[in-house]
Amino acid sequence: MTTQELVQEIKRKRSFLCIGLDVDLTKIPQHLLKEEDPIFAFNKAIIDATHHLAVAYKPNLAFYEAYGIKGLEALGKTIDYLNQNHPEIFTIADAKRGDIGNTSGMYAKAFFEDLNFDSVTVAPYMGKDSVEPFLAYENKHTILLALTSNAGAYDFQTREVEGEELYKHVLKTSKTWKNGQNLMYVVGATKAEFLAEIRKIIPESFLLVPGVGAQGGNLQEVCKYGMSQNVGLLINSSRGIIYASNGKDFAEAAAEKAAELQQQMDRLL
Ligand SMILES: O=c1ccn([C@@H]2O[C@H](COP(=O)(O)O)[C@@H](O)[C@H]2O)c(=O)[nH]1
């Protein structure tokens, strides 16, 4: 999916909501554990109930790798289900990969060719040659970690290096790389006070913003400082939506939470 198509979809649905599919078998409704593939059954029900309210879904790889082969099979079925039934949805593999060039090349092949995600999250700290293999896929999107939502972001990302915070070096340097103008960036909703500075460096790049809901980030604050001319935001909520209920009404409860966020977004557009 191109960035232009993503923007059109945001305007059509009046939503820039990304739903995180972070499936934890101890938190899903217990009746689903009888299903042959409980993870996929859960994801399918959540997608069926919420796809009209969201423009993106973001499975986090940790929640699939934790269940071994069965988890990866469920991930494969989930992305296939989305691609076949909702090609208008932007898909994000939240994998936070990045390694020496030939290894990054294999990660890129896995997420972009085999699984056919639209995008993957990548850690920048191994530098240009670790990110280039992802950027080589011109019709796909690389989402670089810039300023993350967790407290540990202050350990390194905001530290000054040669008079400027490290996350600013990440933004300024990465946008000069080949196809770097196509990069998207992760900025935590809990770091809204940094967004005005971030927008001075990357005025139009899309930002994937996790951290509203369970982590306490504020949607209004993020939009006030982070929204660009083409919206430029994908706001993620995972636990706050998918675990709204662990009863038989889990999908309806998830849709209610997603609708609350979508209605707030509608007012902010
Ligand atoms: O800086 C980051 C980068 C990634 N994440 C991921 O987003 C979701 C957030 O889940 P919630 O349940 O809505 O808190 C999760 O997959 C994280 O690993 C992030 O939170 N912050």
23-76 residue pLDDT tens: 999 999 999 999 999 999 999 999 999 999 999 999 999 999 999 999 999 999
Q: Taking residues 4-30, report their average pLDDT.
A: 98
The position carrying tokens 């430029």 is: 232
The finding on whether 205 has its CB within 6 A of some atom of ligand 1 is no
Reading the block at residue 169, the tokens are 């070096």
217 lines ligand 1 (CB under 6 A): no
For residue 264, the CA-to-ligand 1 centroid distance in Å is 20
Burial (0-12, 13-18, 19+ Cβ within 10 Å), 255 = buried
ipTM value for the complex = 0.99
Per-residue pLDDT of 96-143, as tens digits, reads 999 999 999 999 999 999 999 999 999 999 999 999 999 999 999 999
Task: For residue 12, report the distance from its CA to the centre of ligand 1, in Å.
Answer: 26
In the CATH hierarchy, which fold is given to the domain comprising 3-268?
TIM Barrel (3.20.20)
User: Is 109 known to be catalytic?
Assistant: no
Q: For the chain, give the mean pLDDT.
A: 97
pTM: 0.98
- How many Cα atoms occupy the beta-carbon half-sphere of 15 within 13 Å? 22
Percent of the chain with pLDDT over 90: 99
Per-domain residue ranges for the chain? 3-268
Q: Are 170 and 201 in contact, with CB atoms under 8 Å apart?
A: no
Cα–Cα distance, 19 to 107 (Å, whole number): 23
Cβ(60) – ligand 1 distance below 6 Å: yes
Catalytic residue among 96, 140, 178, 257: 96
The answer to whether residues 156 and 177 touch, using CB atoms and an 8 Å cutoff, is no
